[in-house]
């Protein structure tokens, strides 16, 4: 098997739940040797999160921990503390997602580790940051979504604030943590020194506001929920059809002209209310009323075929099964199987050092013997 881009990099992963394990799984996919440190009683919380469960355990846990080795340690036990210190001494990267200050009290904080492993990249993930005020707040993705404003912009205009279908802020935080860690590893090649990388869920949530955050910061206007519509582009939303919903993404005026030609309504593109994107946003309600009547006459499949052939971005709202089938039909091979565990393939495609999962997610303490022996060597 081709060595991964991070082959030879040792990762000590003290993190748990989602953001940290996703970050370390990303490095594992790229070839790093990730050693997952878990509490002896029960391990990572996500091992109990379900249903659904399969023979190998919680599917939640299985989705975040492939390619790792599991070592159970009681970080309050002196003998296990010694093994943890030795692992931190050997590691290139350390991930942790305890409440700020916890690793310091246990003796494995950044300031302690850098004294005996100055080359370590030490990545800390928290909910609200490491200030005294932030550290005092417990946090999960749902809470951060609510308090960051993210939920306030999600959902129907006349409905309640909603969360997305996945723990989106945790996911973003994991990817930001992986990115920051890789940047620090690259800088280490120049300086020879590691550094402390900190990523907070609240920071990630605010960054993920993207254009909505920029709009507020530069105008002072609070954004409103717009459902599946886009606040700055029209038409850019879903429409009911004869058989299901259709997503339509008209990103510029040229596409809008092609779109109007294809639906047999070229005059819409020259209507002064709709001739430019800015005007279409202002007159969105009138435009959507017209288009909704047109889309209701045919199926989502027919509209997708017609509009795609005309160079107009459109597609059906797939369920999860249909989404995997669609990706497979495109040749993306979205599913990998690891000793009976099915997993979504890494989206990173490197030509020489592909991101290839090395093993199924580990059982709790599965690698205790080999890792304890290795850490006890001279």
Catalytic residue list: 170
What are 13's strand-pairing partners? 36, 95
Q: Which residue carries 């129907």 as its tokens?
A: 156
> Cβ neighbours of residue 179 under 8 Å, at least 6 residues apart?
none
Could you give the CA distance from residue 299 to residue 315 in angstroms, rounded to a whole number?
Answer: 11
List the beta strands (DSSP E) in 113-260.
121-126, 196-200, 236-240, 245-249
Going by C-alpha positions, the residue among 77, 78, 90, 94 that lies closest to residue 37 is 94
Find the radius of gyration of the CA atoms of the chain.
25
Using omega within 30 degrees of 0 as the cis cutoff, is the peptide bond preceding 235 cis?
yes
> Cβ neighbours of residue 360 under 8 Å, at least 6 residues apart?
56, 62, 66, 338, 339, 340, 341
């Amino acid at each position: 098997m081709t060595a991964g881009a991070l082959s030879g990099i040792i990762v000590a992963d003290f993190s748990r739940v989602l953001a940290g394990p996703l970050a370390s799984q990303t490095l594992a996919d790229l070839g790093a040797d990730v050693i997952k440190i878990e509490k002896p009683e029960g391990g990572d919380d996500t091992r109990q999160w379900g249903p659904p469960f399969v023979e190998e355990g919680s599917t939640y846990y299985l989705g975040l921990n492939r390619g790792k080795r599991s070592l159970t340690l009681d970080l309050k036990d002196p003998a296990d503390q010694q093994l943890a210190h030795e692992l931190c001494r050997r590691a290139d990267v350390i991930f942790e997602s305890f409440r700020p200050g916890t690793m310091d009290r246990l003796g494995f904080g950044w300031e302690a580790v850098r004294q005996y492993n100055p080359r370590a990249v030490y990545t800390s993930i928290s909910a609200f940051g490491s200030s005294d005020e932030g550290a005092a707040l417990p946090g999960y993705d749902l809470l951060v979504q609510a308090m960051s404003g993210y939920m306030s912009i999600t959902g129907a205009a006349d409905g309640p604030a909603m969360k997305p279908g996945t723990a989106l802020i945790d996911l973003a935080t994991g990817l930001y943590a992986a990115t920051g860690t890789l940047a620090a590893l690259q800088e280490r090649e120049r300086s020879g020194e590691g550094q402390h990388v900190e990523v907070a869920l609240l920071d990630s949530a605010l960054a993920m506001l993207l254009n909505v955050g920029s709009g507020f910061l530069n105008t002072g206007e609070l954004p409103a929920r717009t459902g599946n519509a886009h606040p700055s582009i029209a038409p850019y939303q879903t429409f009911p059809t004869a058989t299901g919903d259709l997503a339509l993404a008209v990103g510029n005026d040229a596409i809008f002209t092609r779109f109007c030609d294809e639906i047999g309504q070229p005059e819409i593109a020259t209507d002064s209310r709709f001739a430019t994107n800015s005007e279409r946003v202002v007159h969105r309600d009138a435009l959507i009323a017209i288009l909704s009547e047109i889309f209701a006459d045919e199926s989502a499949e027919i509209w997708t075929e017609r509009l795609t052939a005309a160079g107009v971005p459109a597609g059906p709202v797939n369920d999860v099964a249909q989404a995997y089938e669609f990706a497979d039909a495109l040749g993306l091979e979205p599913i990998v199987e690891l000793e009976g565990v099915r997993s979504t393939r890494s989206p990173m495609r490197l030509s020489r050092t592909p991101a290839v999962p090395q093993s199924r997610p580990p059982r709790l303490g599965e690698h205790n013997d080999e890792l304890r022996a290795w850490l006890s060597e001279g």
